[in-house]
Chain A
Amino acid sequence: MSEPLFSKKNLKLLSDPLNSSNPITVQVLGICSALAVTAQLKPAVVMSISVMAVLAFANVIISLLRNTVPNRIRIIVQLVVIASLVILVDQVLKAYVYDVSKQLSVFVGLIITNCIIMGRLEAFALGNKPWQSFLDGIGNGAGYAVILIIVGFFRELLGSGSIFGFKLIPESWYITNGGFYANNGMMILPPMALITVGIIIWVQRSRNRKLIED
């Protein structure tokens, strides 16, 4: 108990998921929602925050319960915890950012089945103390958020010519207005999101050679 709150080991829980054990690019979890909500930056950011919140608190709760839950029913207990948190998040989104909540549609509900959350509960929270679990949840949520925001940035910039809904490409550049430019329609489609994630993985692995499997 003498360990300080932000010891080196604990900080590693925060920073590792950002790079060498990123939930999307290294653990390859949560790809589905990463492809679905990143056509624009705003839903991507909202989704990231939601997942981060659910992940952090689910981790804490499961970590608190870890010694009382019988092993055989732990999955269902985890699901109950996650589902309640997701409903909370969903209600908050509906109350404060209704339009984005509409845009995200089922994907907020589908956070329940997001593999990252189950994965972290199983792999980390069941065997660690609440504070560490909380940091792990924040860290993995941030790792998820980083990828979502990078993908969302490029998809919105190239696919719609805007960032957070602000038009960056001048209207007069477009072909329809006599210019030369056209938005890349493929960026809006999910396949291009997958390719973008693939490129991020490529860049990351060429910078961090330890991650390359044989």
Chain B
Amino acid sequence: MNFIKNIFENTKPYVQKGAKFHWLHSVHDGFFTLFFVQKNTSKSGTHIHDYIDLKRTMGLVVLALVPALLFGMYNTGYQHYKAIGELASTGFFQLFLFGLLKVLPIVVVSYGVGLGIEFVFAQIRGHEIQEGFLVSGMLIPLVMPIETPLWMIAVATAFAVIIGKEVFGGTGMNIWNPALVARAFLFFAYPAQMSGIKVWVASGSQATDAITCATPLGDAASGSITYTAADAFFGLIPGSIGETSTLALLIGAVILIITGIGSWRIMLSTIAGGAVMGLILNFFAGSPALSEANQVFFGIPFWHHLILGGFMFGAIFMATDPVSAAQTVKGKWIYGFLIGIIAVLIRVINPAYPEGMMLAILLMNTFAPLIDHYVVGAHIKRRLKRATVKGQTA
């Protein structure tokens, strides 16, 4: 550790005020705090000093994402060799290695572009580098279909960081979850690649570069059930890189809840909302007014909605983003519940959008401040009433 510390100590004179490389000082600070805790203390106001600063918080979220990431790599290889029919003759590590080589460039591009823009903005605006992108940079690859061209990911990441975050003033000021902004951008800009009906399954050196393969969700929307619940739960289905395995995501959820970083209220209420909406749709499944395909989709067991597509990923990692989610306790329940309801509603009712989780979370992100406003307002009103009643009796 002393070796690293020496590097920072030795380079410090160069980035001090007035020195040649002063414009790099926030980069210096950024890397310093990555390794060590700042010695400086605040000079005014009340502050809570805690070892768990933003960087460590973000680090823990990334840690919670690792199971989903690793499984995503494995599943990429699995889907590939399944698509070309050589699954039985391929070993576990070969599957994993194939996925690793496919996923790694996406992660690198996402971090490279995003952090690059963050660094530039930090220098221009003269503030510290904000660590918010550490998580977004990992979330973005995980919500992408595996064969999304790298330049599209770069464009989407740049859009998300600049328009989704920096415009509002950087980390902590954004209205929407930046990773979802990236995905929404791709979804509307390049619908052919992102519609959610089909994803590209990597196929390497075959005659075609990529085999498109319908996701189970897309199949279900057109009235055929092509998955088993077990596969959907463990994640051996086609889908975006990190969203398929409910099990891996639940491991992440446990980490987030134990460390107190993710709100269990939002996760729980989102799941409840999805389940309730699934039950309501089940109730209407037999209706003759529906087309045959719709009858099938309405009728799938309500808990299947929770393990298919991006529902769990959204509920655990996207909806709980502390910046864009509702802040009040009651608000969190309402916020999560509505996300669940709207996600399943869009998924089943709207034929244009087979996956509704992204749109549901973005919509509720927009409404989160409003929900908080009314929750706080109602609270104040209730307290006020109590106070005046007492005043009258006394």
Tell me the A residues contacting B by CB distance below 8 Å.
175, 180, 182, 184-187, 189, 195, 198, 202
Which of the segments B67-75, B103-111, B186-194, B306-314 contacts the partner chain? Answer: B186-194
Contact with A along B82-106 (1 / 0, CB 8 A): 0000000000000000000000000
12 contacts between A and B (CB under 8 A): A175-B192, A180-B149, A180-B151, A184-B155, A184-B189, A185-B188, A185-B190, A185-B191, A186-B188, A187-B189, A189-B188, A198-B167
List which B149-196 residues lie within 8 A (CB) of chain A: 149, 151-152, 155, 163, 167, 185, 188-193
Bound Cα distance from A3 to B192, whole angstroms: 62
Given A180-B149, A180-B151, A185-B188, verify A202-B193 contact (CB < 8 Å).
Answer: no
Within the complex, the shortest CB–CB distance from A212 to chain B, in Å, comes to: 14
Complex contacts, A195 vs chain B, CB 8 Å: 163
Which residue of A is nearest B185, CB measured?
A186
- Interface size for B (C-beta < 8 A) is 13
Which residue of B is nearest A198, CB measured?
B167
For the A-B complex with A182-B193, A184-B189, A186-B188 known, give 16 more contacts whose Cβ atoms are closer than 8 Å.
A175-B149, A175-B192, A180-B149, A180-B151, A182-B152, A182-B190, A182-B192, A184-B190, A185-B188, A185-B189, A185-B190, A185-B191, A189-B188, A195-B163, A198-B167, A202-B167
Within the complex, the shortest CB–CB distance from A188 to chain B, in Å, comes to: 9
Complex contacts, B155 vs chain A, CB 8 Å: 184
Within the complex, the shortest CB–CB distance from B156 to chain A, in Å, comes to: 10
Q: Taking chain B's interface residues, is the majority helix, strand, or loop, or is none over half, making it mixed?
A: helix
Which residue of A is nearest B194, CB measured?
A185
Bound Cα distance from A186 to B193, whole angstroms: 13
Bound Cα distance from A195 to B185, whole angstroms: 12
Complex contacts, A185 vs chain B, CB 8 Å: 188-191
Which residue of B is nearest A185, CB measured?
B189
Complex contacts, A198 vs chain B, CB 8 Å: 167
Which residue of B is nearest A178, CB measured?
B209
Bound Cα distance from A129 to B193, whole angstroms: 58
Bound Cα distance from A171 to B348, whole angstroms: 37
Q: Taking chain A's interface residues, is the majority helix, strand, or loop, or is none over half, making it mixed?
A: helix
Complex contacts, B167 vs chain A, CB 8 Å: 198, 202
Bound Cα distance from A184 to B167, whole angstroms: 21
Complex contacts, A186 vs chain B, CB 8 Å: 185, 188-189
Bound Cα distance from A175 to B193, whole angstroms: 10
Complex contacts, A182 vs chain B, CB 8 Å: 152, 190, 192-193
Bound Cα distance from A182 to B189, whole angstroms: 9
Complex contacts, A180 vs chain B, CB 8 Å: 149, 151
Bound Cα distance from A185 to B189, whole angstroms: 4
Bound Cα distance from A189 to B193, whole angstroms: 18
Bound Cα distance from A185 to B184, whole angstroms: 12
Within the complex, the shortest CB–CB distance from B347 to chain A, in Å, comes to: 22
Within the complex, the shortest CB–CB distance from A175 to chain B, in Å, comes to: 8
Within the complex, the shortest CB–CB distance from B211 to chain A, in Å, comes to: 15
Complex contacts, B185 vs chain A, CB 8 Å: 186
List which B113-155 residues lie within 8 A (CB) of chain A: 149, 151-152, 155
Bound Cα distance from A182 to B185, whole angstroms: 14
Within the complex, the shortest CB–CB distance from B188 to chain A, in Å, comes to: 4
Within the complex, the shortest CB–CB distance from A50 to chain B, in Å, comes to: 30
Bound Cα distance from A198 to B189, whole angstroms: 18
Complex contacts, B149 vs chain A, CB 8 Å: 175, 180
Which residue of A is nearest B187, CB measured?
A186
Bound Cα distance from A195 to B162, whole angstroms: 11
Which residue of B is nearest A184, CB measured?
B189
Bound Cα distance from A175 to B214, whole angstroms: 19
Within the complex, the shortest CB–CB distance from B146 to chain A, in Å, comes to: 16
Complex contacts, B191 vs chain A, CB 8 Å: 185
Complex contacts, A175 vs chain B, CB 8 Å: 149, 192
Which residue of A is nearest B155, CB measured?
A184
Nearest first, the 10 A-B pairs at minimum CB distance are: A186-B189, A186-B188, A184-B189, A182-B190, A185-B189, A185-B191, A180-B149, A195-B163, A185-B188, A185-B190
Bound Cα distance from A107 to B391, whole angstroms: 61
Complex contacts, B190 vs chain A, CB 8 Å: 182, 184-185
Bound Cα distance from A101 to B167, whole angstroms: 37
Bound Cα distance from A112 to B163, whole angstroms: 33
Bound Cα distance from A186 to B188, whole angstroms: 5
Complex contacts, B151 vs chain A, CB 8 Å: 180
